[in-house]
Amino acid sequence: MKSWVLNNKWVIAGVIIGAIGGFLYWQQVGCNSGTCAITSKWHNSTGYGALMGGLLFSLFKKEKNGNSKQ
């Protein structure tokens, strides 16, 4: 478990930061009419932010490749 966390620390950090950002976006901007798909409810905005943060931060993850020919 510890090695999995260490291998995916950037993705985990991105999910946490994205979730916080999504919640803050819902809290500060939100949706006045309630018809917005993502920002009308806090759990939609937080989940979307976590997903986007995880995807964005996964770009910084270094892949270990045992078959590299350099």
pLDDT of residue 40: 87
Please state the pTM of the whole predicted model: 0.80
Query: Token pair for residue 36?
Result: 């917005």
Q: What is the 3-state secondary structure (H, E, C) of the chain?
A: CHHHHHHCHHHHHHHHHHHHHHHHHHHHCCCCCCCCCCCCCHHHHHHHHHHHHHHHHHHHCCCCCCCCCC
Per-residue pLDDT in tens (0 to 9) along the chain, 70 residues: 888 888 889 999 999 999 999 999 999 998 888 788 888 899 999 999 999 999 999 998 777 766 555 5
